[in-house]
Amino acid sequence: MHSTQTRLRHGALTACAAALALLAAGCSQASAGARTGGCRADGDWSGREQAAWLRTAVVFRGTGDGADPSYEGASVVVRAPRTGDVRVLCRPLAVQTQFWTLTATARGTEMSSVMRYRLSTDGSRTRTVSFPTGLPAGADGACAGVLVAVYAGAPLSTGELPRRTPDPATAADADVRFRTERVAVHRLLPPRDPAACDPGGSAPSPSPSRSTEWDARHP
C-alpha cells in the first residue's frame, strides 16, 4: 500500500513538473513573440526601401533662408517616422549624414567633402547632428554653397555622387542628382550673397577645410 501511494505521488509530481515546463515554454515563446512582433522587419530591405523609411524620419533645422552664414545652431534631426508604419525597426539602420561645400570656379563647380557623421537608428529615439564648424561664411565664402545629404548604408562611392554639380548661386535642390537610390533627403544651401559671385564663374576660393569623418561614438 505504501509503495502504491509513493508511486502515485511520484506520478503526480512528474505530471506537475511537465505541466510547468510546458507553461514555461509557452511563456517564453510568447515573450519572444512580443519582442519581435512589436517591431517592423527590415532585415531584407533594399536601398530604396531604407531611403523611403529614412525620408519620413529626417528633419532639417536652422537652414530655412541661409541668413546665418555660419549655420550656427543648424542641425539634421533623425527621429521616428512622421507617417506610415511608425513601429521601431527590428534591425537598427545605419545612417550617414554628409556635408560638402560647392564652390563656383572658372572650371565649374568644385565639390569638396567637409564632414561625414555615422549613426544607427531604429526610430526609438531622436538623434541630432549639428552642422560642422568652418563652413563658408562672409566674403570668403561668397560663392560657395553647402550640400547636405542623409542616406542609408555605407559611405557614398565616387560613382554614386552627382555626375554634374550646378552653380551653387543659381541651383536648387532638384538640380542636384545623386546616382543612387540610397540618398533619402538632401538640401542645397546657397551662398550667403549670390549676387557677389562673378557672372563669369570665377570666384574666390573658400578657406581650405579639413575633411572629417565622425562615427557613432562621437558625442
Indicate whether 21 and 81 sit together in one domain: no
Check residues 82 and 135 and name the one with the higher pLDDT.
82
Q: What is the domain count for the chain?
A: 2
Indicate whether 184 and 82 sit together in one domain: yes
Contacts of 69 (CB under 8 A, 6+ apart): 135, 136, 137, 138, 141, 192
Q: What is the pLDDT of residue 167?
A: 86
For the chain, the average pLDDT equals 77
Q: What is the pLDDT of residue 5?
A: 54
Indicate whether 76 and 12 sit together in one domain: no
- pLDDT class for 103, splitting at 50, 70, 90? confident
Q: What is the pLDDT of residue 68?
A: 57
Residues in the chain: 219
Indicate whether 129 and 161 sit together in one domain: yes
Q: What is the pLDDT of residue 73?
A: 83
- Residue 70 inside a domain? The answer is yes
pTM above 0.75, yes or no: no
Q: 91 is written with which cell numbers?
A: 534591425
C-alpha–C-alpha distance, residues 219 and 210, integer Å: 19
- Residue 144 inside a domain? The answer is yes
Q: What is the pLDDT of residue 29?
A: 42
Indicate whether 63 and 109 sit together in one domain: yes
pLDDT 10s digits, 15-70: 545 555 544 544 444 333 334 459 999 999 999 999 999 999 999 998 765 455 56
Indicate whether 19 and 115 sit together in one domain: no
Check residues 66 and 94 and name the one with the higher pLDDT.
94
Indicate whether 94 and 152 sit together in one domain: yes
- pLDDT class for 14, splitting at 50, 70, 90? low
Indicate whether 182 and 88 sit together in one domain: yes
- Residue 162 inside a domain? The answer is yes
Among 87-91, 144-148, 202-206, the range of highest mean pLDDT? 87-91
- Residue 11 inside a domain? The answer is yes
Q: 69 is written with which cell numbers?
A: 552664414
Q: How many CB atoms lie within 10 A of CB 133?
A: 13
Indicate whether 86 and 1 sit together in one domain: no
- Residue 219 inside a domain? The answer is no
Contact 160, 96 (CB under 8 A): no
Check residues 215 and 91 and name the one with the higher pLDDT.
91
Indicate whether 64 and 25 sit together in one domain: no
Q: What is the pLDDT of residue 37?
A: 55
Indicate whether 77 and 171 sit together in one domain: yes
Indicate whether 124 and 190 sit together in one domain: yes
- Residue 14 inside a domain? The answer is yes
Q: Residue 212 pLDDT > 50, yes or no?
A: no
The domain of 155 spans 47-214
pLDDT 10s digits, 147-189: 999 999 999 999 999 998 888 888 888 899 999 999 999 999 8
Mean pLDDT of 184-201: 75
Q: What is the pLDDT of residue 77?
A: 96
The single-letter DSSP state of residue 199 is T
